[in-house]
Amino acid sequence: MDKNMKILIVDDFSTMRRIIKGLLHELGFNNIEEADDGNTALPMLKAGNFDFLVTDWNMPGMTGLDLLKQVRADARLGKLPVLLVTAEAKREQIVEAAQAGVNGYVVKPFTANTLKEKMEKIFERIATVAQG
């Protein structure tokens, strides 16, 4: 994984953003920006050449799932890797997120290792698809 890649963290709780940011720092990523819901995140994504999106699902304003749908519907952002990090743990919700085109799904509470594993897996798959 490219340690210089630009990452956007979207969560309505500042403490959760701080935790994810801290974990990403530990993993060696330092090019990180934050947004507190989909409505703030979307213009940032459109303007800012992000390489990776980590988002919560349940947020006031625009939810993470709606943000994901907007990203997938956008011609330029369409292929942006998206990781959902959420407390939503119902099977039908995971299926819904998968159908909306999410790249990874982490349930809260989670560990640094889970986050790392999922990110690695996402970039592995992207590399495989790019080669094939």
| Binding footprint of another protein on the chain (CB under 8 A) | 14-15, 18-19, 22, 25, 57-58, 63, 65, 87-96, 98, 104-108, 110, 114
| Minimum separation from the CB atom of position 94 to another protein (A) | 5
Q: Please state, in angstroms and rounded to a whole number, the distance separating the CA atoms of residues 68 and 71.
A: 5
| Minimum separation from the CB atom of position 9 to another protein (A) | 14
Question: Which residue lies nearer to another protein by CB, 46 or 80?
Answer: 80
Q: Please state, in angstroms and rounded to a whole number, the distance separating the CA atoms of residues 35 and 10.
A: 5
Smallest Cα–Cα separation from 5: which of 125, 119, 107, 131?
A: 119
Strand partners, 8: 33, 53
Question: Which residue lies nearer to another protein by CB, 16 or 46?
Answer: 16
Question: Which residue lies nearer to another protein by CB, 98 or 127?
Answer: 98
Question: Which residue lies nearer to another protein by CB, 30 or 43?
Answer: 30
Question: Which residue lies nearer to another protein by CB, 46 or 110?
Answer: 110
| Minimum separation from the CB atom of position 1 to another protein (A) | 18
User: For residue 39, with 0-12 CB atoms within 10 Å meaning exposed, 13-18 middle and 19 or more buried, which class applies?
Assistant: middle
Q: Please state, in angstroms and rounded to a whole number, the distance separating the CA atoms of residues 63 and 6.
A: 21
Q: How far is CA 107 from the centre of its chain?
A: 13
| Minimum separation from the CB atom of position 33 to another protein (A) | 17
| Minimum separation from the CB atom of position 20 to another protein (A) | 11
